[in-house]
Structure 1
Amino acid sequence: MAPIAASHQQFDEIPTVVGIFSAFGLVFSVSLFAWICCQRKSSKSNKTPPYKFVHVLKGVDIYPENLNSKKKFGVDDKSEAKNKSAMPKNSLHLDLEKRDLNGNFPKTTSKMQSSPDPENSSSKHFSENQKDSVSPDSLKSTTSLSSEEKQDKLGTLFLSLEYNFEKKAFVVSIKEARGLPAMDEQSMTSDPYIKMTILPEKKHKVKTRVLRKTLDPAFDETFTFYGIPYSQIQDLTLHFMILSFDRFSRDDVIGEVLIPLAGIELSEGRMLMDREIIKRNVRKSSGRGELLISLCYQSTTNTLTVVVLKARHLPKSDVSGLSDPYVKVNLYHVKKRISKKKTHVKKCTPNAVFNELFVFDIPCEGLDDISIEFLVLDSDRGSRNEVIGRLTLGSSAEGTGGEHWKEICEYPRRQIAKWHMLCDG
């Protein structure tokens, strides 16, 4: 009986040992999970993306710290209540962390900067040395023009520049534009909006919203670009394109503003400035360039093989110089588009080599009712792609387009290549 009692005592100790090990395992697991969460949180807060920009629209802030692509909005209640008597109901107070983008800097004596552009020597720079930003309404006297001068002017653009050293962010605020010309002859108004590009790399492209039926649009939009070192600011140039939205055709170009940042000192706070809007410098060459096309008509299979080979001498489509061309190919049957293709984009070159082949099925016998259109476009992220040149081949086409089409009809199953001059898009 004694050995049996000893064995029972050993079995009674087993649940106690298992419970102790389970408790230690649970504590270890919880500690490990908490440590991993802390490490992820710290790494996520310290992570700085190579490039990001924040768009502030009338006080609504999209915070860059939120990396899960969800928008977070915030308004400073105290400052809003403080300024409610001085601000209209529809306007909101700009709010970022520590309110460093709202102009809340210590009072410093700012130096007046001369215009970096000799053509715009009359433009004025204003350094902010107070907490509240200066409203463009206070600058109306500087832009008062006579009625005769306003006919030749395209208006004035008001903006502010700032650099946030804590977040290594470059801040551009588009305040308003005044005295824009009317692009709609019926209503004698415009639907203006602004596209902004940071040159020379053209990586950062943004645009404002469209304001309907106004010649004095107040945009009040702020764009914050992250990952731009302060040492590189002097090498950059801001290009503003002022356009009027057109629902039924291509948007009308009102003018442009080019601001080289060389010589502009942003270390002492926000700087307000205004620039006269000038006519767009299209920089057209003697022609729109040339396109090398190879065609082959297979009468047995009733197919048309199109090879987009090369483009050369393409004009400069914007102030940065080179274009990013690609070719869009449209096949028409009795003026109705039945198929479309496009090539890949070739970066920063006026002489592009495509070497891309497309095969189109012809819905009818012969090529009498068939025509093919080539559109050479400049790829532009964030906005509508601009047409550099156009080429049409068909039986009714004139010049080399009609000759090339006649040859492929007379000599089927033969690949025939020709250079063609592009016409205006």
Structure 2
Amino acid sequence: MAPIAASREEFDEIPTVVGIFSAFGLVFTVSLFAWICCQRKSSKSNKTPPYKFVHVLKGVDIYPENLNSKKKFGAEDKEEGKSKPVMPKTSLHLDLEKRDLNGNFPKTTPKIPNSSDLENFTPKLFPEREKDSVSPDSLKSVTSISSEEKQDKLGTLFFSIEYNFEKKAFMVNIKEARGLPAMDEQSMTSDPYIKMTILPEKKHKVKTRVLRKTLDPAFDETFTFYGIPYTQVQDLSLHFMILSFDRFSRDDIIGEVLFPLSGIELSEGRMLMNKEIIKKNVRKSSGRGELLISLCYQSTTNTLTVVVLKARHLPKADVSGLSDPYVKVNLYHAKKRISKKKTHVKKCTPNAVFNELFVFDIPCEGLEEISIEFLVLDSDRGSRNEIIGRLTLGASAEGTAGEHWKEICEYPRRQIAKWHMLCDG
């Protein structure tokens, strides 16, 4: 039994030995880690950074202090400055030993220079001006002219045209635009894109992608139009509309470019073009045209029959000189729209014939609070439809519109037609 008791005592001593060794190992590891961290910190503080910081603030270069003068940008300028005579500068120097018991500095009276000193000193500080000096009036005229030129100039559009005889396709490549004006006053930039239409039929309408925050957008987008015979290319015109995208409101129109293809030979290959961007022609005229309307009020069924017959002498609402008009009819009761209708679109004509009939149910007896609004619009797939003219018939209307309304009220069940002048939309 004695040998068994001795072996048990030896096994009891093993955990204490292991604990002592693990404690020494932990202390050694912690101290080694702390020593390595201190060495790295000291080496980082003494080491020169592998790059240099360059910050230009009003012509002053700021660098880290531990960079050598050879690595500094503009060190050659400083060396050249040493050879040049240094201009005298007034400096402020406070001598701490000259303070009194209260810590204040004694007042010193400035030394008044003599007339001889001024004569010797002024040529150094104020050199003589040249004889050909510019007057303030001339400066104002130059600045005003330059500002007007900048406002008038809307940039330049660069594009190329080509005709593929094998595929019978007309190709237009919108390359870039340069010198666009800033439409966003806060960021002083624009988000431009271009809409292109082939006139006069306006069947082919395309647009580029929007390029963010640039005044010199490079689009480089090619548009291929199939089914256009080469003999008809001479009769076409390219209309480019340059716009700036606006997420919260309607896109801003920068300008437009109209490029007729008459007299251009595409048989030789691709042709590069550049055209100045001009302001969009609003094309407003004193006369908005006329609209022929026929009205009939049925008092028994309490319905109003409206027939949109014709439109004539409509103004030019497009670059090609032709419009695609249609009429939108809105019925109002107490200034609230309760019904709306519209006619079909008539292509490329200033004198449209519609002959379309609409029947409206009147919510109450009588036409005292009823009014009808006619909007003549120009259909445009690529952008928002433009209002050509407007006409309102009702009890409060004046002129021929008021007379027409009184007649249908006095003579119910009678179809009465009259021409009306359109006003600005």
Q: Which amino acid aligns with 1:396?
A: S
Unaligned runs of 5+ in 2: 1-144
- Bigger relative CO (Cα 8 Å, ≥ 6 apart): 1
- TM-fit CA distance, 1:354: 1.4
Alignment deviations for residues 220-245 of structure 1 (CA, whole Å, 9 cap, x no partner): 32210112233433332211122345
What is the deviation of 1:186? 6.1
Aligned to 1:4: none
Give the equivalent residue in structure 1 for 2:75: none
1:15-56 Cα offsets, whole Å, 9 max, x none, are xxxxxxxxxxxxxxxxxxxxxxxxxxxxxxxxxxxxxxxxxx
Q: How many residues align?
A: 281
Counterpart for residue 222 of structure 2: 222
- Per-residue CA distance 1:184-227 (angstroms, 9 max, x = gap): 55665544332222223333222234445544333332210112
- Over the matched positions of the two proteins, sequence identity in percent amounts to 93
Q: Kindly tell me: are residues 407 and 251 of structure 1, through their superposed partners in 2, closer, same or farther at Cα, counting changes over 3 Å?
A: farther
The residue number in structure 2 matching 1:157 is 157
Per-residue deviation, 1:358: 0.5
Q: CA RMSD in A?
A: 2.6
Q: 1:369 to 1:176 in 2, by over 3 A?
A: farther
The alignment status of 1:355 with 2:346, answered yes or no, reads: no
Match of 2:369 in 1: 369
CA contact (8 A) 1:329 1:342 kept: yes
Given that 2:317 and 2:388 are in contact with CA atoms closer than 8 Å, whether structure 1 keeps it comes out as yes
Tell me which structure has the larger Cα radius of gyration.
2
The whole-number CA distance in structure 2 between the counterparts of 1:408 and 1:246 is: 47
Partner residue, 2:90 = none
Q: Is the contact made by 1:282 and 1:318 (CA closer than 8 Å) also made in structure 2?
A: no
Secondary structure class of the residue paired with 2:262 = coil
Instruction: Give the whole-Å Cα distance in 2 for the aligned partners of 1:279 and 1:246.
Output: 19
- Which structure 1 residue ranges, 5 or more long, are not aligned? 1-144
1:156 positional shift: 1.4
* Cα deviation, residue 175, structure 1: 2.0
- Mapped to 2, the partners of 1:370 and 1:331 lie a distance apart of 7
1:293 Cα deviation (Å)? 0.9
Distance (whole Å) between structure 1 residues aligned to residue 273 and residue 418 of structure 2: 52
Q: Which amino acid aligns with 2:397?
A: A
Superposed displacement of residue 288, structure 1: 0.7
Letter in structure 2 aligned against 1:277? I
Matching residue's letter, 2:220: D
What code does the residue aligned with 1:233 have? V
Equivalent in the alignment of 1:302: 302
Deviation of the 1:315 alpha carbon: 0.7
- For residues 304-319 of structure 1, the aligned pairs below 5 Å read 304-319=304-319
Dislocated runs of 4+, deviation >6 Å: none
**SS at 1:167's partner residue?**
coil
Paired AA for residue 399 in structure 1: G
Q: Per the alignment, do residues 400 and 147 of structure 1 end up closer, same or farther by CA in structure 2, a change over 3 Å counting?
A: same
Amino acid at match of 1:239: H
2:331 matched residue in structure 1: 331
Counterpart of 2:107? none
Q: One-letter code of the match for 1:314?
A: L
Q: Does 1:235 align with 2:235?
A: yes
Q: Which digits, 9 at most, give the CA deviation of each residue in 1:243-289, with x for residues without a partner?
A: 34556766543322111223434344433221101123344443110
Partner of 2:104: none
Quick one: structure 1 residues 383 and 148, their matched pair in 2 at CA, closer, same or farther if it must change by over 3 Å?
closer
SS in 1 for 2:340: strand
Return closer, same or farther for 1:262/1:312 CA change in 2, 3 Å cut-off. Answer: closer
CA gap 1:162/1:389 in 2 versus in 1, 3 angstroms: same
1:367 is paired with a residue whose SS is: coil
How far apart, in 1, do the equivalents of 2:336 and 2:213 lie?
A: 35
Relative distance call for 1:234 and 1:149 in structure 2 (3 A) is same
- Counting only pairs closer than 5 Å after superposition, residues 52-131 of structure 1 correspond to structure 2 as none
Is the deviation greater in 322-331 or in 184-193? 184-193
Q: 1:332 to 1:252 in 2, by over 3 A?
A: farther
Hey, what's the Cα distance between the residues in 1 that align with 2:349 and 2:168? 32
Q: In the alignment, what sits opposite 1:257?
A: 257
> Which residue identity is paired with 2:300?
T
Amino acid at match of 2:259: I
Structure 1 residues 186 and 369: CA distance shift in structure 2, 3 A: farther
Q: Who is 1:281 aligned against?
A: 281
Equivalent pair of 1:150/1:179 in contact (CA under 8 Å): no
**Residue in 1 that maps onto 2:88:** none
Cα distance in 2 between the residues matched to 1:416 and 1:253: 43
CA 1:281–1:227 in 2, change beyond 3 Å: closer, same or farther?
same
Query: Normalized against structure 2, the TM-score is what?
Result: 0.60
Aligned to 1:291: 291
Counterpart CA distance in 1 for 2:213 and 2:180 is: 11
Partner SS state of residue 157, structure 2: strand
Q: Is the 8 A contact 2:201 2:348 kept in 1?
A: no
Aligned to 1:409: 409
